[in-house]
A and B are shown apart, each in its own frame.
Chain A
Amino acid sequence: MLSRWRDLLPGLILIAGVVALFAVTTTFPTVPPAFAQGMQATAMPRLILGVIALLAVILIAQGYGKSESAKPAISIRVWATAALLVAGTLAFEWLGLTLTTALTCFAMPLLWGERRIVRVGVFAVLTPLLIYLLFTHVLQLRLPQGILTSLLN
């Protein structure tokens, strides 16, 4: 059904999101009109959610009877890259920026099919090193260095 009804899935996801967020807006406290100065805090989000819901319905209606255009299958490389990025983000605080960047710059090229391991190694060392030197010593930006804090700061 999803492949024979264009934009049904994104439309339904949007409507579900609208319902969920509308429910969240019901938890917003109401302030006295004098403080609200024209609009309560719920007014704008609800107005936008209403517009999104209306547009999602139009999107679904427009797609009725039209088949979904073929999309390239999501390769294992995308999932692996996404997992790597999430792991990098989670490790960011602990490992620090320089080490996280080095590991990402080592793992991602290999994941994307690069087999020249020496080049990858050099790249994984030089990229974070250049970023560290440029931002910490030239632009004076304090980057979190995690377990390398005592060494690099």
Chain B
Amino acid sequence: MEHVIAGFGVLLDPVSLSVIVLGTIVGVLVGALPGLSSSMAVALLLPFTIYLEPVPAIAMLAALYCAGTFGGSITAILINAPGAPPAAATAFDGYPMAQRGEAGRALGMAAVSSVIGGILSLVVMVIAAPALAQIANTFGPPEYFALAVFGLSMLASISSDSPVKNLIGGALGLLIATVGVDLTTGVERFTFGVPELYEGISFIPVLIGLFAVAELLTQANAKDKPLERVSLTAVKLPSLADFKAVWKTILRSSGIGTFIGILPAEGSTVAAMIGYNEARRWSKHPERFGTGEIEGIAGPEAANNAATGGSMVPTLALGIPGSATAAVILGGLQIHGLRPGAYLFKNQPDLLYSIFAAMLFANIVFLGFGLLGARLFSRISLVPRTFLWPTVFALCVVGAYGVNQSLIDVSIMMLAGFIGFWLKRFGFGAAPIIMGVVLGSLVENSLAQSMIIFDHHALRFVERPIALAFFALAAISIFYKPLSDAIRQRRTARTSLSGETR
């Protein structure tokens, strides 16, 4: 109980409270801006959190994560331009509602569903994370290696054109993590004689380059299109009739979102899409979806915000990020010298409750923003791109330079940005690479330690049931979709063949 009180104490400390409020406001603003995502915002803010104590720093990033996920719904509903990918499904019914003069009702439902989803997932987080960490306490290096492989394998099932590209992205991230002097052997790897690379490639410049600079170049190629803004008079809290119609949807989507969030690598976007599809599947009026159905807002909004709390569970308990933004927050934990897992809960018992308090507070604050300030926040999309992106670039440079006060980090950021731009053009996302970079040292160290334990016999992994279970899950996550697609194709071909012969 004392840890709960101490954790909530973060809200009583003026500095901590200020940075949490700041994180929430920045989150809603960034979430509302098309092109800027919460992952990018967390990446840009991360270097500046170094000047904070670890607890308020992580609390601020967590608050930003929650608020950024909600912020996207404002522009999704008012201008049909989701500020962030998790809000894409909200636009399907939110914008049609706004077009017929119900923008206030849609925004009210989005805010309330988001808050309920977010809070329910936080309750799960605060119960599940320590329990999972306790289980993970029994893991040895082979189990951790298998767990990291499972985490990376889940990249195959996140939303993308090509699972193979996601897996390649994860492997590229692992490769980036090998740069520098190998601590065990003292051998330089891929440093090419550059002394600044001896300690490895700093995580933050890569992060900023892949998320922000690559997006800046993408935006340079985007055509200016005028956005049609729907007028908004006032945001309304859902009526009793609306709430009666959607409460089951909100609860279902909260469960789905939390579960999806807990799965490694799966984030709010996947949760929102599944939340939307399930809302339609269970609805009494599925035919109304896409034309401005209130359940079509409650479903994805509850799910995408529930995924934020869910994704913090494996991040804090196992050190395996639950989403791209959680990967960045995990990087933040590492930068602040915090090691996720049972150690974290033992050495920093207040941290979990501080994160819980910060995310809970962020949910309540953005409910206020959503209800009172949506009109103001929607105006953020009026900021011309011609001024927005040079400002983002200036922050990128300061952020990349600031961590180590190193000019080479600025060059690394630029290089990562250019590579990220080309990778994005060919359909490779930034998130899998970041996952790989974050998990790199865990994968290598746990494999090396496992090989010592197994006396260099890799097949002895099968003697460890937990490791074997993780490998089996990894195999399922990689091969399930291609195999089920192949079976479906074969069935379709057989059916059409038998139809022709008849």
Contact = CB atoms under 8 A, between A and B. Distances in A.
A150 interface: no
Contacts of A82: 217, 418
Contact of B164 (A58, A114, A127): A58
A64 interface: no
Interface string A26-69: 00110100011111110011001101100110110010000000
Interface residues of A, number: 64
B449 A78 contact: no
Contacts of A55: 164, 167-168, 171
Contacts of B221: 72, 74-75, 77-78
Contacts of A72: 221
Nearest to A49: B175
Contacts of A7: 162, 165, 426-427
B178 A101 contact: no
Interface string B162-195: 1011011001101100100010111111100000
B447 interface: yes
B175 A28 contact: no
Given A109-B387, A114-B384, A59 B164 contact: yes
Contact of B407 (A24, A88, A113, A144): A144
Given A14-B168, A44-B447, A97 B162 contact: no
A78 B164 contact: no
Contacts of B417: 85
A71 interface: yes
B394 A36 contact: no
A143 B398 contact: yes
A93 B408 CA distance: 10
A52 B497 CA distance: 38
B190 A78 contact: no
Nearest to A81: B220
B216 A81 contact: yes
B168 A52 contact: yes
Given A62-B162, A71-B425, A85-B414, A104 B174 contact: no
A123 interface: yes
A41 B398 contact: no
A43 B428 CA distance: 26
Contacts of B407: 92-93, 144
B282 to A, nearest CB: 34
B451 A92 contact: no
B274 to A, nearest CB: 25
Contact of B220 (A78, A104, A131): A78
B213 A41 contact: no
B405 A75 contact: no
Given A78-B221, A105-B390, A31 B402 contact: no
B480 interface: no
A142 interface: yes
A125 interface: no
B168 A104 contact: no
Contacts of B185: 31, 35-37, 40-41
Interface string A99-116: 011001100110011100
Contacts of B190: 21, 24, 45
Nearest to A89: B414
Given A81-B220, A88-B397, A89-B411, 16 more contacts: A28-B189, A35-B184, A36-B184, A36-B185, A37-B448, A44-B174, A44-B448, A45-B178, A55-B167, A59-B162, A77-B221, A109-B384, A109-B386, A109-B387, A127-B394, A131-B395
13 contacts: A41-B182, A45-B178, A59-B164, A78-B221, A85-B216, A89-B411, A89-B414, A104-B390, A108-B389, A109-B386, A109-B387, A114-B384, A127-B394
A142 B224 CA distance: 37
Interface of A: 7, 9-10, 14, 21, 24-25, 28-29, 31, 35-41, 44-45, 48-49, 51-52, 55-56, 58-59, 62, 71-72, 74-75, 77-78, 81-82, 85-86, 88-89, 92-93, 97, 100-101, 104-105, 108-109, 112-114, 119, 123, 127-128, 131, 135, 139-144
B50 to A, nearest CB: 9
Interface in B224-268: 224
B385 interface: yes
Given A39-B447, A128-B394, A123 B168 contact: no
Contact of B189 (A41, A71, A92): A41
Contacts of B216: 81, 85
Given A78-B221, A82-B217, A114-B384, A143 B389 contact: no
A92 B449 CA distance: 43
A75 B186 CA distance: 46
A135 B405 CA distance: 13
A114 B426 CA distance: 29
Nearest to B448: A38
Nearest to B454: A38
A86 B187 contact: no
B138 interface: no
Contacts of B165: 7, 59
